[in-house]
Structure 1
Amino acid sequence: MKNKKKIIIILLIIMVFLGACIFGYYWHQNKYYIKTDDSRIAAATIIVSPQITGKITSWTAQEGSIVKAGQTLGRQDTNSVASSSAISVKTLPQTGSMSISKAEIVAPVTGQIIKTAVQEGEIVNPNQTLAIIANTNDIYISANIEENKISRIRIGQPVDITIDSVPGQTFQGKVSEIGQATASTFSIISAQNSSGTFTKVTQLIPIKIRFPIHPDLQLLPGISAEIRIHLAE
């Protein structure tokens, strides 16, 4: 009987100890760190558009290819400019050389083509999206932090980063920007409820985290990541 009581007491002590350890761990994590998996690789993106109306006679840009600023991506048929409502036949001789230069479609920045939206033979107009280039020199982590935690975030705080496509590695970065509005503020669908009922939802504040990137790593925009922000430093 005494042995049984001793065993029960020992088990209770072990349970209390384990409970204290678990509590201490989570208390330490919540006090000194903010973690979230609502984060992903992001990059500055630039839209490639034509300067004139015309038919695409050649288009060499392919999704996933790396291009340099000023590199030719495609060309338009300059003869089709004459039929454009924006340029009359009388003014064509004076604008001929200008039209030829504008008919060449070039990459505005160095980066990776992540989307193409045109084919040879297609007639395109100015400001129409032909391709989207991700600036590979401006890659960062985009993360969303709950509104009740954002007051603890400061620019310059160190961040541990793990990226799903690079398992087993932890990258070191720093908070570089803190959003000045919630993520839902810029949503196409309004978050305002006019039905007379309201359910409070925790809002998210976007932040940016910069980190050094090894040139051999291919980090595509949208790849999932997980971050841990150090609050103590």
Structure 2
Amino acid sequence: MESKRKVLMLSVVAVMLVVLSSIGAYYWYESNYYVTTEDAKVAGDIVKVSPQMTGKLLELDVEEGQSLEKDQIIGRQEMGTLSDTNLEQSVIRAPISGFVLKKQVTPGELVSTGQTLIMMVDPAKLYINANIEENDLAKLKIGQRVEITVDEFDGHKMYGKIQSVGKAANSAFSLLSGSTSGTFTKVVQRVPVKIVFEDKQNCNGLLLGTNAVVKIHIR
């Protein structure tokens, strides 16, 4: 009976050692071959559409989520004292091909030069903005391959590559100044890394600002 108990205990210990060794080997492999973060989002360069002149907005024929073509006429302003030869100044056109993210004015309002009427983004030029801990930056290089999983399409794996690594931590752009008194707590800083998709078709259907997980191949 005692012998069976010892065998059972030894078997349990052996299994535990195998499991712990496997877990250790897994984390060693992951840390040596990949840099992974869940602090990543789908991003894009937002284009703000503004009028060329100050005047009453007569029409703005767009809705949020609508697709537009570059140079498509989307609105008109009251010409006022403009001559017919300057008619183009009262016309509002889409500066890029893309879709409308936000509409910020309605017809009838007085709008001025430089005021944002709508915000647009080109869906073919979306990318991933990943925030990487400063301790892992030395492992990163431009062009490294990246596995991307977007929460919106859970389980569907996409691929990209590092296009650029930020030259400042996110905290450098904070509007709040750092504490100059009292106790100090060291916080690991994160630096933005831009990841572009290998296949631009993967951008179709992605929503700006949605969460993603990235796994960067460092070896």
Give the TM-score normalised by structure 2: 0.94
How many angstroms apart in 2 are the aligned matches of 1:125 and 1:155? Answer: 42
% identity of equivalent residues: 35
Which of 130, 155, 176 lines up with 1:143 in the alignment?
130
Structure 2 residue 64 is the aligned partner of structure 1 residue 63 = yes
Q: Which residue is 2:78 aligned to? A: 77
The answer to whether the aligner puts 1:207 opposite 2:193 as a matched pair is: yes
Q: How many residues align?
A: 217
Q: 1:3 to 1:223 in 2, by over 3 A?
A: same
Distance in 2, matches of 1:143 and 1:41, equals 9
Q: Distance in 2 between matches of 1:39 and 1:166?
A: 14
Secondary structure, aligned partner of 1:121:
coil
Provide structure 1 residue ranges, at least 5 long, that are not aligned to the other structure: 83-94
Deviations 1:93-139 (A, max 9, x none): xx523542111111111111101100010110111111111122311
- Structure 1 Cα separation of the partners of residues 140 and 122 of structure 2: 27
2:124 partner SS: strand
Residues 170/204 of structure 1: CA separation in 2 closer, same or farther (3 Å cut): same
TM-superposition CA deviations, 1:146-186 (whole Å, max 9, x none): 01111111111110001111122100111111111111222
Residues 203-230 of structure 1: CA deviation (Å, up to 9, x unaligned): 1100111111327831121011110001
2:93 counterpart letter in structure 1: V
1:104 alignment partner in structure 2: 91
Pair 1:128 & 2:76 matched: no
Instruction: State how far apart, in whole Å, the 1-side matches of 2:155 and 2:176 are.
Output: 40
- The answer to whether the Cα contact below 8 Å between 1:43 and 1:138 also exists between their aligned partners in 2 is yes
Distance 1:139 1:170, change over 3 A: same
Q: Secondary structure at the match of 1:38?
A: strand
TM-score by length of 1: 0.89
Gaps of 5+ in 2: none
- 2:206 matches 1:225: no
RMSD: 1.5
- Give the whole-Å Cα distance in 1 for the aligned partners of 2:182 and 2:4: 65
Question: Is the 2:123–2:203 contact (alpha carbons within 8 Å) kept by the matching residues of 1?
Answer: no
- Among 179, 192, 196, the alignment partner of 1:193 is 179
Question: Contact 1:52–1:99 (CA<8 Å) still a contact in 2?
Answer: no
Report the equivalent of 2:142: 155
SS in 1 for 2:32: helix
Structure 1 runs of 4+ off > 4 angstroms? Answer: none
Q: Quick one: which amino acid aligns to residue 68 of structure 1? A: E
